[in-house]
Every structure is written in C-alpha cells, then in structure tokens.
Structure 1
C-alpha cells in the first residue's frame, strides 16, 4: 500500500457515505488511518460495529454519541474511543465534523 503521510489543509476528496454524510481520508498507513467526517444538522451515523479500534475527536459541532448502549453528548473539543467490535453511532445535534482514527486502517474507505 502507498501510505499518505502528509495532509495539507483542504486537500483530499470528499465522498458521500451510505448514510448521507461525507468523509475524506486524510492520512493512512497499514496500521493507522485518519478520516474527517462532515455532518449536517440531524445527520446520523447509523449504529454499526467493526473490528477496528476507533478514536474520535469532535472538531466542530455537537453530537449525541452512543457506544455499547451508553449515550453522551459531546461538543467541539470532546473525544471518544470505540473498542473493537462495539456497536456505536452518532447523531449531529448541529452541523459538525468528526476526525476519526482507525487501527488498523479501513481498507473499505480506500476503494
């Protein structure tokens, strides 16, 4: 795999996610990936799980975050971790952005 190790501001193509939000892969190696997600107010990241460990930072906005049945509201500057295999999802209470890291990388985001 060709790794991306630098990401100048504003670079990278946005793609529409299956749930109608947007994402762009910022950086990745085999071991780690950094992805920015954009949400309109009311946008939902549907409940799901994956084998990757995920750490997320709320860059902008406010989100209702559910992990393994526990729900918290996080605003800009907040963060959360999703251990491997736990069911999780978000709802944007206002327009916002999440910056997520995944280990290992999400191959499904590259194709």
Structure 2
C-alpha cells in the first residue's frame, strides 16, 4: 500500500489518462478513504461499470447525465450523488466538467 496522503493543495498531482479517454488524479488517500478528481471534455463518458467501493461524487464543474442502478438524472455543478457498493453506474459530460469522487475503501487500482 502506498504511503497515506492526508493533505492536498490546488493543482497538485499529475493527471493520468483513463481507459475511457478522460483524466484523473488522486488527491488524498488512506486505507479507508480516497478522494479523486476526474476531468471530462464535453461528450466524455464514464462507461457503465460497478465496483465494491461505496462512491460519493461532487460535481465541481459542468453538467453530467448520471445513471445509477438504471435511474438517470442530470446533475449540475454543486450537486452530488452516491453510488452504493456493486451498483452499476456511469456518467456522460453534457459540457466540459470535473467530478470529485470519494471511495471507501480506497481504490488500490488507482495507486498502482
């Protein structure tokens, strides 16, 4: 396990390309909790997927079509959503935007 990171400052951390053509950077993490920023261009999407981690997401910028467990809503900047463990979910950026996601426990795959 990587050394926990418990402080982050604006602009820190390198963006990494995601398999679906977006970008992410891990902001903070401990064994129990992780915060990750995702950047999307207009029309970018996070394909439908599931994972055992509980995910809480905050829309920092933009508007997203968010699908969780077959239910879809438009969530704009300042809004948020929670994805329970193992529920199928995905997003589409209706305009360029950023999500700040928290995962519990941490996503070890994002630290590899």
Q: TM-score range by the shorter chain?
A: over 0.9
Q: SS in structure 2 opposite 1:109?
A: helix
Runs in 1 of length 4+ with deviation above 6 angstroms?
none
TM-score by length of 1: 0.99
- Structure 2: distance between partners of 1:28 and 1:44: 24
Displacement of 1:31 in angstroms is: 0.1
* Counterparts of 1:107 and 1:36, CA distance in 2: 15
Per the normalisation by structure 2, the TM-score is: 0.98
CA distance, structure 2, for counterparts of residue 16 and residue 46 of structure 1: 15
Give the equivalent residue in structure 2 for 1:69: 70
Counterparts of 1:14 and 1:103 in 2: how far apart (Å)? 21
What aligned pairs does 1:11-90 form with structure 2 within 5 A after superposition?
A: 11-90=12-91
Q: Secondary structure at the match of 1:108?
A: helix
Aligned counterparts of 1:9 and 1:43: Cα–Cα separation in 2: 23
Q: Classify the secondary structure of the residue corresponding to 2:109.
A: helix
Gap regions ≥5 residues in structure 2: none
What is the root-mean-square deviation of aligned Cα atoms in Å? 0.4
Number of residue pairs matched by the alignment: 111
